[in-house]
Amino acid sequence: MKYRKLKLDELGRKTVSEFRQSDKFPLIFVLDNIRSALNVGSMFRTADALGIQEILLFGISAQPPHKEINKTAIGATASVSWKYFSDATKLIEYLQAREYVLAGVEQTKDSLMLENWKPNSSVRYALFFGNEVDGVSEEFLDYLELALEIPQFGTKHSFNVAVSAGIVGWHALLNGHLHA
């Protein structure tokens, strides 16, 4: 047999405790009114896989513990730090106090196509991912320093929000040479 699947103990993964204590990439996912708890869980799993700083949940986004989040997070809610905000102003103040650059993953008049974004390795980014129907909330648009758009070539207007988090998160780490 040419290929043999690795067993879980061969993957060299960190324990939850090791992950929580490890250095993280200077990247935050902001989940802005995400309707589906399954999407929220998937974004937790992606955040764990990418080793990002934390997830900020806003508005109607489901919070752990939640049955549907657990289905797709597969334990990542225990490893990834998260906070919930019901007030948009407090969320913005939290990020600004920590000097994060606020970037929305949104189709706007002045969006930068993702392939043209070269993240600065000395900058911390907070990536806003919006509601599955309405996108990033209007109340956040004025605070964004950057709007990123993922190019698409089919008939649909957007990727699933959890897929978008994986695409943009991986791009940020790969192209920004961000350091954990």
At 140, which CATH number?
3.40.1280.10
pLDDT at 10: 94
| Distance in angstroms (rounded) separating the CA atoms of residues 7 and 29 | 30
For residue 136, tell me if it sits in a domain: yes
- What was the pLDDT predicted at 176? 82
Residues of the chain with pLDDT under 50: none
Does the residue 104 lie in any domain? yes
pTM: 0.96
Cite the DSSP H helix spans in the chain. Answer: 16-21, 37-50, 67-73, 76-79, 88-97, 138-141, 161-176
Residues 6+ apart with CB under 8 A from 78: 16
The per-residue pLDDT for 137 is: 97
Q: Are 85 and 32 in contact (CB under 8 A)?
A: no
pLDDT of residue 179: 73
Residue 72's domain comprises 21-150+158-176
Asked whether residue 4 is domain-assigned, the answer is no
Question: Is 132 part of any domain?
Answer: yes
Q: How many domains does the chain have?
A: 1
Domain annotation covers residue 36? yes
CA distance 72 to 44: 8
Torsional sign, CA 93, 94, 97, 99: negative
Matching residue, tokens 């920590």: 98
**What is the phi/psi pair of residue 124, to 5°?**
-100, 135
Q: How far apart are CA 50 and CA 57, in angstroms?
A: 18
